[in-house]
Amino acid sequence: MDDTPIDLPAVEPPPSPDAPRLRFALGAIVLYFLIQAFTGFLVGMVFMMVEMVANGVHDPKAVLQSPDTRMLLLLMILPLSCLASILVFRLGYRRVWRTAGHEGLAVRPIRPTQFSLHVLLGIATGIVGSMLTYLLTQGHPIGQDIGKLMLHTSLPMRLGLGLLVVTLVPLAEEILFRGILLPALIRHMPIALAVAIDACLFAAIHLPDLGWKPQGLLALALVGAVCCWRRLKTGSIYSAVAVHAGNNLLAMVALIASHR
């Protein structure tokens, strides 16, 4: 009798029932914007009530004519909506929050040196993206609403916005796009296609920020693709957060410097 062991074909374990699923990932994107809208509405209502009681102002348009007021509202809405979104995602995916690979969100720490190197990678990606945008627009700058607002606000407010844009905003968006959406896409298609779709969706949601000018989408898609690559390569969402933060840091420094 032959006692030679038989090599059975490897069987992949079934995906975790708590892993991100595509329909829920798309729902999370919608929820992200609903949270922003609700937070904006709530903050705006409270702000107007304070203005009515303190200053007797009853016309919202009159209040919002001031760039400093609009910036102040933005400085309140952004952190609240980002923190609320992160909390909702944390509660919804608590079992796979730190799970690496395609079965979880990979919210796992990385070494400070790794984080710093990824910030530099994000800055380099932003420079390449700016060159691509310059070529596509033939040298004409793409006006952003945030840039126009910063033109008429004080330096402390600009610095406050810059701090949010390089910290909480990248964290919330990376958890959504590279933590939830990317693994959900990979469950249904090849990794390269999943990365392409993820990067394109990431760019598309920023189209209103570009004044609906599509020439800036390629640069944003490049940032999204690099974030996908580093998240998959390192097994941590924080590498993508660092790349995103580096890109945003470059953009904010350019905006603040040009509007002094």
**What is the pTM (predicted TM-score) of this model?**
0.89
Contact 103, 19 (CB under 8 A): yes
Q: Which of 20, 15, 184 is nearest to 93 (CA)?
A: 20
Q: Would 127 be classed as within a structural domain? A: yes
Q: Would 199 be classed as within a structural domain? A: yes
Q: Would 195 be classed as within a structural domain? A: yes
Q: Which domain holds residue 95?
A: 22-258
Q: Which of 66, 72, 68 is nearest to 44 (CA)?
A: 72
Q: Would 7 be classed as within a structural domain? A: no
Q: Would 169 be classed as within a structural domain? A: yes
Q: Would 29 be classed as within a structural domain? A: yes
Q: Report the domain count for the chain.
A: 1
In a structure prediction context, what are the per-residue pLDDT tens digits for the chain, which is 260 residues long?
A: 455 554 444 444 555 667 899 999 999 999 999 999 999 999 999 988 887 777 776 666 766 778 888 899 999 999 999 999 999 999 999 999 999 888 899 999 999 999 999 999 999 999 999 999 989 887 666 656 677 777 778 888 989 999 999 999 999 999 999 999 999 999 999 999 999 999 999 999 998 888 788 888 999 999 999 999 999 999 999 999 999 999 999 999 888 776 66
